[in-house]
């Protein structure tokens, strides 16, 4: 680390401690050349997550866009702000935990739908309508049928 006073390249760490709730390490250094002390801060540099759009464009991952879509799908539905926050946080966490630093919009949409489905089926259908961009009524009915089939009790649970 270059000394801020004399420009010397050799310094030793005198003290290290966490700062900013453990996100940063504060290091007190002493220059080997001039003996003066200075402070440096060290933090992990994250490679930004990129979203790959349908047309191939890439843009930075923005959880606020997910939130906007989920909020719109949940309008006039009994879905709390806490549940919406949970959906957004879950999708963000899963996206950021990938080894690949790029994620297709299709994958993000599937992650959102997976979570919405367990919370509110109407919000799930609303999101699916926009996300999947249904071409016709048949494709819409296919999603509804799949949803209904997954809700139907199995014969074992009906005593049959």
- DSSP letters, 23-45, are TEEEEEEEETTT--EEEEEEEPP
User: pTM for the full model?
Assistant: 0.62
At 158, is the pLDDT very low, low, confident or very high (cuts 50, 70, 90)?
low
Average of pLDDT values for 62-74? Answer: 95
Taking only the tens place, the pLDDT of each residue in 126-145 is: 898 877 766 667 776 777 77
Output the pLDDT for position 100.
87
Contact 39, 29 (CB under 8 A): yes
In angstroms, rounded to a whole number, what is the distance separating the alpha carbons of residues 106 and 108? 5
**Does 55 or 142 have the greater pLDDT score?**
55
At 52, is the pLDDT very low, low, confident or very high (cuts 50, 70, 90)?
very high
Instruction: State the average pLDDT for the chain.
Output: 87
The residues near 62 (Cβ < 8 Å, ≥ 6 apart) are 51
Distance of CA 137 to the CA centre of its chain: 32
At 11, is the pLDDT very low, low, confident or very high (cuts 50, 70, 90)?
very high
At 155, is the pLDDT very low, low, confident or very high (cuts 50, 70, 90)?
low
In angstroms, rounded to a whole number, what is the distance separating the alpha carbons of residues 92 and 86? 10
Taking only the tens place, the pLDDT of each residue in 97-131 is: 888 889 999 999 999 999 998 899 899 888 988 77
Highest mean pLDDT among 10-24, 35-49, 63-77, 145-159: 63-77
At 4, is the pLDDT very low, low, confident or very high (cuts 50, 70, 90)?
very high
Q: What percent of the chain has pLDDT over 70?
A: 91
């Amino acid at each position: 680390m270059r000394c801020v006073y004399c420009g010397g390249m050799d310094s030793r760490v005198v003290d290290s401690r966490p700062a900013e709730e453990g996100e940063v390490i504060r290091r007190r250094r002493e220059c080997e050349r001039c003996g003066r002390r200075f402070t440096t801060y060290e933090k992990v540099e994250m490679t930004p997550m990129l979203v790959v759009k349908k047309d191939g464009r890439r843009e930075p991952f923005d959880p606020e866009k997910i939130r906007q879509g989920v909020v719109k799908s949940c309008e006039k539905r009994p879905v709390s702000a806490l549940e919406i926050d949970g959906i957004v946080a879950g999708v963000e966490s899963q996206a950021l935990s990938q080894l690949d630093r790029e994620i297709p919009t299709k994958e993000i949409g599937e992650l959102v739908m997976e979570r919405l489905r367990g919370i509110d089926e109407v919000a799930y259908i609303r999101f699916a309508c926009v996300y999947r961009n249904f071409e016709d009524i048949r494709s819409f009915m296919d999603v509804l049928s799949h949803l209904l089939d997954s809700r139907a009790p199995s014969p074992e649970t009906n005593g049959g």
